[in-house]
């Protein structure tokens, strides 16, 4: 079995030193409390979550006599997760949660996700569904559903996709027919529903997109419904079957322990649901959950990439070839340094974004920044989490390709994060069309100014090469933004759409480099006064930034050329 | 199940139009004969090989009562492969083969490999072992082993790796103790042996690296032995067990249908072997096989990348979202164009390299060119075959992540090609240290001059951007080569080794761009006089070159900056 090792020092650096989340005084947490929570959470992950990772992948989810059975090994860890209060972490106090700074919650949840991504999807989706019910649900739901979801008796799902409505959610066909009193009869087939059915929970609360009569075609005619697997009696207890049938579970490349279900609503008897949010407002209501899910996809890449890196670091220090540890072979070392810079860069990005949720409570502009960073977190971290996982496998050589170290599982498990909750292509379109053009570039400008000032304050001597490179890249950023806004003025949207993935990658690398720059700058300030052990850590943060610049930010010069020289004379011809 | 579709037109273009392999008159094949062979081979692959791909992956290899059992579905296709004469294709006439131009053989074998990579490893390794026996074996081996390997009764393997001797072959510990008359007692454990045991063949001919007494430590003390699984009687018939025990089969991420074995020689009774090649010359003899295996790794990436692309092309023309086929969504189209350029670029590289084998018979300098291109084929095609496979999965969306289209299998099956037969890191070291520096840069210069002249002849108007870019890249190539030779002069080998993977990637992209350039130039000459259907094809070749330049060759400008600006002030610090 693989090793578990987490980069606690780097997590603490991000939370306590760089973001200083202890300054969110409303949570009453001092620096040491934060360290304590991370340490406890990490122990739980090491002792209870990680040991389930490989066994639950090998066993996988089974459908037996129509019932969906999760690997037995997941039962105990799920119970502990709720019983120990980890599910409650970061949720509002009024529903029994333990409010903490968002970045602390994300740092913890990332540890668990890295250690068993497929398992974490059960409580992860429940949490997202719970948030929707809490924000938009009626009193009955708040009284009877939320407590059950909080204590882990009931789980939650999001049901969007249908066989012919994947990226194109607007063409979904499921229907909802009013019964009065907010109740509806739901009919339709949903596919690829994570945690769609399982024996981990007594009941499932499905959030289902469907059409009521008289709505417009496309996304504007869609509403959201709360559809329990078993009906809920007036007193909140579980009633008869609500006729939601799992007609199939998918056989997948990875996340074998996560039940990916095809669900039939209302074909085998009547299925009842309640409208949640306003009629025809389904997409907006679902997006409360979707945005959380997109950030969570990013965490899936970030967390698994980070653990895969830690395993590779450990392995390459132990494996000896040609008379020395393979980490000391220059080519292996180069790969490890890249992996560390990339995986820590992803962490810095995700925790920074998480921290904006606290900022946004008083500064609403930060909501737009979160919106801009969401597709970056989702697409860049899922893609690079996959790449780091593949590099970690490579560092293990033939052993990595075999199942025994558990490292190949990262490649299989991260791949899906590039696809679900909006493919990375969809993220790129969202980023350019909605988050930049629809916004008139205001939010992009806001964050660009911050970056310009960060780069400006970088020491000319210690970071000479990096400062020059970053300045060049910022000039390119301007040129690209200008080019794209010209396309938009001329209604050349096809040209924009052909370049949006490249621009998303470019922007992601600017943002990650910036977060690593801030980390390096702070580390450089602290390094002189530190102990030997701490000096080593701070030096590693300076190294991360320099390595990221040399290997990734440099790539932006090429991407800029690709975008700026682009013409579609051959790309629109018939394939 | 997935679709099978091959890009026959592009294969014919490479063979008959670009390389003109019909001009190797010694094979007596006209253009139409070559087309006929490809067409017949392709039918065999479509009807007999491809249908085994997914089922054999699902069933996998099993070890039952100590015996290694391959998926039943592989039995018929293996028999057909030998019976129909496809195994004989490209082998010398004197052992019953059907000599054809090497590029034609590689093009055919690539079709079969793409359609079931794991299966193809059984005959593939047998062929490589057969070539060693044919070149270096004694009369007994030629009389009694070769005919059995030719008709498919016996298979072959290569046994290098031991638990503590992976990349570092020189530290292997298996021993060979002389019995007289060329016979030796073999003792040791070999791991990761592909086709190490199987019920597809009556007997296995293992080529085993081991140490005789009195040899030097390291690779210089190693010799190669022919070790059959069952002893071979004087009359060539199968005798008693030779006590080669398969002690374990590996559970792997992919190539489930290929038996990856741990083999024990001489632990459970005596194991006999014959020396093949000279004593202490084992590495050189094994490298006859290893070079073939490295090119074959490249083909594994190239072939699977190509088939994955073809599947994605078909799927994206059929799947409709937002009212049109998803191929017509600009971001999907952009990905498909990149995939096509890359996969056809790999094909052009591999077939060009194969063709040099025929050239090298009269022009020995071409052997050095083959040596230079071998690590490029191995590393670049395995890496990009993996990337194209991952992109093909992405183009299939959620369906791609599920097993039903068979596309996720490409990602799992291509990953290993980056590792075995010398990891891609080892390829990079081989490329820079042996193929360039040890050669004094002569072969690199030779091929560079050809490329400079190709680029010079490119039309200034039709390929303006590409010509400018390529010229810039060629200037960088000079600067990098100079930098590396300076490092070498100053004995700064650590600096070279930290950059060798980047330089290999850089060089690979120059070579692939050059092959696509030649394809585009020829297509541009032919396009005017062609039929509409042919014009569409030739246009696609021009597009491939332009797309490859815009998206991949451009990247070389960044890689050059990474290499030229490199300093190791932070990269050698403790991790």
| pLDDT for the residue numbered B572 | 87
Convert the pLDDT of each residue in A396-428 to its tens digit. Answer: 999 999 998 999 999 999 999 999 999 999 999
Convert the pLDDT of each residue in A110-121 to its tens digit. Answer: 999 999 999 999
Convert the pLDDT of each residue in B62-110 to its tens digit. Answer: 999 999 999 999 999 999 999 999 999 999 999 999 999 999 999 999 9
Chain A interface, best mutation among B401, B470, B538, by max A CB count within 10 A: B401
**Can you tell me the distance from the alpha carbon of A51 to that of A461, in angstroms, rounded to the nearest whole number?**
47
pLDDT exceeds 90 at position A2: no
DSSP string, B223-236: EEEEEESEEE-TTS
Please tell me which of the candidates B161, B330, B557 has its beta carbon nearest to residue A561: B557
Please tell me which of the candidates B250, B498, B565 has its beta carbon nearest to residue A334: B498
Asked whether A227 and A271 are in contact (CB, 8 A), the reply is: yes
pLDDT exceeds 70 at position B145: yes
- Tokens 């780097």 belong to A10
The answer to whether the Cβ–Cβ distance between A168 and B332 falls below 8 Å is no
| pLDDT for the residue numbered A483 | 97
| pLDDT for the residue numbered A1 | 67
pLDDT exceeds 80 at position B376: yes
| pLDDT for the residue numbered B1 | 67
**Can you tell me the distance from the alpha carbon of B334 to that of B332, in angstroms, rounded to the nearest whole number?**
5
Chain B interface, best mutation among A249, A337, A338, A558, by max B CB count within 10 A: A558
DSSP string, A383-451: HHHHHHHHHHHHHTHHHHHBGGGS-HHHHHHHHGGGTSSS-HHHHHHIIIIIIIITTTTHHHHHHHHHH
Please tell me which of the candidates B394, B536, B558 has its beta carbon nearest to residue A419: B394
Convert the pLDDT of each residue in B294-308 to its tens digit. Answer: 999 999 999 999 999
**Can you tell me the distance from the alpha carbon of A320 to that of B167, in angstroms, rounded to the nearest whole number?**
10
Convert the pLDDT of each residue in A380-404 to its tens digit. Answer: 999 999 999 999 999 999 999 999 8
Q: Which residues of chain A are within 8 Å of residue B340 when distances are taken between CB atoms?
A: 575
Residues A532-536: what's their mean pLDDT? 96
Three-state SS string over B69-91 comes to ECCCHHHHHHHHHHHCCCCCECC
Convert the pLDDT of each residue in A266-316 to its tens digit. Answer: 998 999 999 999 999 999 999 888 888 999 999 999 999 999 999 999 999
- Stretch (H or E) spanning A57: helix A50-59
Please tell me which of the candidates A251, A331, A404 has its beta carbon nearest to residue B501: A331
**Can you tell me the distance from the alpha carbon of A68 to that of A72, in angstroms, rounded to the nearest whole number?**
12
Q: What is the percentage of chain A residues whose pLDDT exceeds 70? A: 100
Q: What is the percentage of chain A residues whose pLDDT exceeds 90? A: 95
Give the CA distances from residue B257 to residues A396, B60, B119, B253, in Å, rounded to whole numbers and listed in that order. Answer: 22, 5, 6, 11
- Tokens 């030649």 belong to B518
- Minimal CA separation from A2 to chain B, in Å: 15
Q: Which residues of chain A are within 8 Å of residue B492 when distances are taken between CB atoms?
A: none
The answer to whether the Cβ–Cβ distance between B571 and A425 falls below 8 Å is no
Q: Which of B214, B215, B213, B243 is nearest to B227 (CA)?
A: B243
| pLDDT for the residue numbered B289 | 86
Asked whether A514 and A451 are in contact (CB, 8 A), the reply is: yes
Q: At what angle do helices A532-548 and A493-527 cross, to 10 degrees?
A: 160
| pLDDT for the residue numbered A290 | 87
End-to-end CA distance of chain A: 46
Convert the pLDDT of each residue in A76-109 to its tens digit. Answer: 999 999 999 999 999 999 999 999 999 999 999 9
The answer to whether the Cβ–Cβ distance between B403 and A252 falls below 8 Å is yes
A35-61 b/e with 16+ CB inside 10 Å = b? bebbeebbebbeebbbbbbbbbbebbb
Q: Which residues of chain A are within 8 Å of residue B546 when distances are taken between CB atoms?
A: 570
**Can you tell me the distance from the alpha carbon of B270 to that of A80, in angstroms, rounded to the nearest whole number?**
55
Asked whether B82 and B74 are in contact (CB, 8 A), the reply is: no
Convert the pLDDT of each residue in A488-527 to its tens digit. Answer: 999 999 999 999 999 999 999 999 999 999 999 999 999 9
User: B54, B421, B466, B518: which is the annotated catalytic residue?
Assistant: B421
Q: Is A160 helix (H, G, I), strand (E, B) or coil?
A: coil
User: A421, A468, A528, A533: which is the annotated catalytic residue?
Assistant: A421
CB-count exposure of residue B536 (10 Å: 0-12, 13-18, 19+): middle
- Backbone dihedral region of B530: left (phi > 0), alpha (psi from -120 to 50 degrees) or beta? beta
Which of the pair, A197 or B289, is modelled with greater confidence?
A197
| pLDDT for the residue numbered A3 | 84
The answer to whether the Cβ–Cβ distance between A554 and B546 falls below 8 Å is no
B528 is catalytic: no
| pLDDT for the residue numbered A569 | 86
| pLDDT for the residue numbered A278 | 96
| pLDDT for the residue numbered B3 | 84
Convert the pLDDT of each residue in B201-246 to its tens digit. Answer: 999 999 999 999 999 999 999 999 999 999 999 999 999 999 999 9
Query: Taking the model in full, what pTM does it have?
Result: 0.97
Confidence of residue B190 (pLDDT cuts 50, 70, 90): very high
- Backbone dihedral region of B65: left (phi > 0), alpha (psi from -120 to 50 degrees) or beta? left
| pLDDT for the residue numbered A44 | 98
pLDDT exceeds 90 at position B111: yes
């Amino acid at each position: 079995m693989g090793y578990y090792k987490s980069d606690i020092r780097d997590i603490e650096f991000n939370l306590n030193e760089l973001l200083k989340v202890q300054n969110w005084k409303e949570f009453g947490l001092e620096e040491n409390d934060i360290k304590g929570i991370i340490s406890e959470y990490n122990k739980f992950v090491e002792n209870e979550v990680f040991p389930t990772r490989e066994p639950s992948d090998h066993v996988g989810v089974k459908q037996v006599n129509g019932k969906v059975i999760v690997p037995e090994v997941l039962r105990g860890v799920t119970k502990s997760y709720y019983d120990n209060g980890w599910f409650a972490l970061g949720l509002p106090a009024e529903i029994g949660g333990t409010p903490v700074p968002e970045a602390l919650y994300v740092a913890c949840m990332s540890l668990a996700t890295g250690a068993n991504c497929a398992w974490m999807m059960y409580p992860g989706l429940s949490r997202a569904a719970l948030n929707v019910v809490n924000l938009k649900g009626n009193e009955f739901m708040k009284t009877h559903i939320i407590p059950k979801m909080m204590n882990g008796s009931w789980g939650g799902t999001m049901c969007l996709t249908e066989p012919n409505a994947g990226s194109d959610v607007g063409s979904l066909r499921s229907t909802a027919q009013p019964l009065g009193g907010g109740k509806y009869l739901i009919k339709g087939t949903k596919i690829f529903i994570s945690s769609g059915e399982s024996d981990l929970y007594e009941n499932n609360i499905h959030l289902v997109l469907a059409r009521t009569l008289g709505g417009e075609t496309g996304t504007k005619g869609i509403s959201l419904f709360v559809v329990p697997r078993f009906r809920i009696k007036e007193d909140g207890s579980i009633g008869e079957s609500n006729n939601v049938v799992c007609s199939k579970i998918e056989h997948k490349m990875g996340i074998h322990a996560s039940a990916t279900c095809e669900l039939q609503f209302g074909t085998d008897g009547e299925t009842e649901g309640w409208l949640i949010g306003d009629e025809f407002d389904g997409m907006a209501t679902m997006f409360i959950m979707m945005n959380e899910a997109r950030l969570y996809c990013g965490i899936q890449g970030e967390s698994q990439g980070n653990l895969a890196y830690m395993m590779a670091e450990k392995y390459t220090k132990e494996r000896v070839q040609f008379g020395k540890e393979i980490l000391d072979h220059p080519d292996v070392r180069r790969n490890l340094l890249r992996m560390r810079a990339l995986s820590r860069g992803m962490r810095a990005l995700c925790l920074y974004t998480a921290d904006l949720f606290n900022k946004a409570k008083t500064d609403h502009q930060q909501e737009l920044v979160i919106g801009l960073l969401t597709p970056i977190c989702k697409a860049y971290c899922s893609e690079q989490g996959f790449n780091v996982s593949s590099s970690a496998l490579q560092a293990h050589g033939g052993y990595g390709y075999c199942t025994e170290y558990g490292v190949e599982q990262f490649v299989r498990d991260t791949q899906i994060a590039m696809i679900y909750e909006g493919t990375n292509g969809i993220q790129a379109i969202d980023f350019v069309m909605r988050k930049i053009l629809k916004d008139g570039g205001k939010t992009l400008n806001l964050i660009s100014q911050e970056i310009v000032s960060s780069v400006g304050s970088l020491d000319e001597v210690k970071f000479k090469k990096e400062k020059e490179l970053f300045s060049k890249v910022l000039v390119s950023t301007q040129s690209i933004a200008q080019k794209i806004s010209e396309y938009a003025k001329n209604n050349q949207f096809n040209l924009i759409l052909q370049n949006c993935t490249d621009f998303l990658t470019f922007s992601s690398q600017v943002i990650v480099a910036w977060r690593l720059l801030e980390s390096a700058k702070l580390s450089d300030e602290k390094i002189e006064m530190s102990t030997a052990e701490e000096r080593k850590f701070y030096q590693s943060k300076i190294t991360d930034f320099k390595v990221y610049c040399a290997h990734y930010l440099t790539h932006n010069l090429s991407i800029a050329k690709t975008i700026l020289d682009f013409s579609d004379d051959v790309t629109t011809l018939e394939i």
